[in-house]
Amino acid sequence: MSAPQQRPQTLVHSASLPGHRVEFGRDRPLVLDSGAELGPFTIAYQTYGTLDAERANAVLVCHALTGDQFVAETHPVTAKPGWWETMVGPGKPIDTERFFVICVNVLGACMGTTGPRDPNPATGRPYGLAFPVITVADMVRAQKLLIDHLGIEKLFCVLGGSMGGMQVLQWASAYPERVFAAVPIATGARHSAQNIAFHEVGRQAIMADPDWCHGDYLAQGRNPRRGLAVARMAAHITYLSESALHQKFGRNLQDRTRVTYGFEADFQVESYLRYQGSSFVERFDANSYLYLTRAMDYFDLAAEHGGVLANAFRATPVRFCLVSFTSDWLFPTSESRAIVHSLNAVAANVSFVEIESDKGHDAFLLEEPEFAQTLSGFLAGSAAHRGLK
């Protein structure tokens, strides 16, 4: 089936995006978990605030699956507020007047850091599926190269939610001497079967779109918009909660007084999901979505440590604060609690707070005063112990 009317790739070219970028791996490629080697590659990142003279006030914020490095500024593509402006900024819990905040676009993503839509140096054509499969550990390895490059010996804190929380756990486990405090939020030490299942639905939706062209859509001037939009719609449901959906939409009809006995978006919730899907494809690359969901699926911190999660944190000097939300069914509190139990088993310094919220997994991105207060308190306590001004 040909689709000549299909709009070509409309994603903003990453070179025109604001922020910083550094190239790594030209001389020595990055060896990935898969055994493949990647290099050269670009790391795109954004910073807020000022690094102090002792280089002690650096806070690394790790973004989630569809997030990016534009944490606390108007997004250059969508013109929407930064994804964590509720938490990051002057006078906010992650206070940019006090901390030097770094956020790195993860490996495999599509906002400037090298990913499957970038040119493969071997062919000059976009990588597509020739891009090596990456893992959360690979993302963190790449971030560590950047932190080394910035001359930061020890990060004051590494924070993140969801896939960002997986990176936080990986940082604390792989480089405990480089992290003073760690805040894994709404996350787990492994991706559950249910979560892998949802990701598989998303990937199959993308791959079933004829415009996907076995991952070669860029070279062919096409874009699997419909597949990616369906993937986003399915995933978006998992970020909310039944009660949040009910309160927001109920069974309300969209711009009509009665059902149409057809398959248009009669219900507001359908219209909302369609909008979520169609706006997502304007800013996200379908192959990136495949690679990043795969990275989350492969994450299993215990498996890498003989099946015992506590071994991932043996003798850890890191101060932890775990946060979960009552209505999050994607990463329920039990996932955080399992991490807490493992940290207790090594007598680690750990705080754990479950926040009452009906906003589901997305709660960590939204205005939740009790969450903000927890984060402020933990950071203030940690800063006092670290001797930060």
Partner 1 sequence: MSAAADLRPRARSAGPLRRDLALIAEMIPSGARVLDVGCGDGALLEHLVHDRGVDGRGIELSQAGVNACVARGLSVIQGDADTDLKDYPSDAFDVAVLSQTLQATRAPRKVLGELVRIGRRTIVSFPNFGHWRVRWRLLHDGRMPTTPSLPAEWYDTPNIHLCTILDFEDLTAELGITIERALVLDSRGTARGLNSMRLANWFGEQCIALLRRG
* Residue (of 28, 220, 223, 30) closest to 110 by Cα position: 223
Among 30, 231, 355, 365, binds partner 1 (CB under 8 A): 355
- How far is 382 from 319, CA to CA, in rounded Å? 8
Other CB atoms within 10 A of residue 188 CB: 25
Q: Interacting stretch for partner 1, rule CB under 8 A, among 109-117, 213-221, 235-243, 339-347?
A: 339-347
Catalytic, 162? Answer yes
How many residues touch partner 1 (CB under 8 A)? 32
Binding mask 171-190 for partner 1 (x = CB under 8 A): --------------------
The beta-carbon contacts of 207-211 under 8 Å, at least 24 apart in sequence, are 207/290, 209/286, 210/1, 210/3, 211/3, 211/6
Site for partner 1 in 43-102 (CB under 8 A): 91-93
* Residue (of 143, 145, 172) closest to 350 by Cα position: 172
Residue with tokens 């807020």: 48
Q: Kindly tell me which of 77 and 340 has the beta carbon lying closer to partner 1.
A: 340
Contact between 1 and partner 1 per CB under 8 A: no
**∠ Cα 30 37 13 (to 5°):** 80
Contact in structure between 184 and 163 (CB atoms under 8 Å): no
Catalytic, 328? Answer yes
Contact in structure between 295 and 239 (CB atoms under 8 Å): no
Residue 175 CB, shortest distance to partner 1, in Å, is: 21
Contact between 345 and partner 1 per CB under 8 A: yes
Number of helices followed by number of strands (H, E) in the chain = 9, 12
Contact between 334 and partner 1 per CB under 8 A: no
Contact between 223 and partner 1 per CB under 8 A: no
Q: Kindly tell me which of 195 and 342 has the beta carbon lying closer to partner 1.
A: 342
Among 6, 278, 311, 376, binds partner 1 (CB under 8 A): 376
Catalytic, 2? Answer no
Contact in structure between 131 and 291 (CB atoms under 8 Å): yes
Among 23, 54, 264, 370, binds partner 1 (CB under 8 A): 370
Q: Kindly tell me which of 292 and 355 has the beta carbon lying closer to partner 1.
A: 355
Among 39, 40, 210, 377, binds partner 1 (CB under 8 A): 377
Strand ranges (DSSP E) for 261-368? 319-325, 349-355
Of the residues 14, 68, 118, 162, which is catalytic?
Answer: 162
Name the site residues for partner 1 (rule: CB under 8 A): 91-93, 319, 321, 340-341, 344-347, 349-356, 369-370, 372-374, 376-382, 384
Catalytic residue positions, numbered: 162, 328, 361
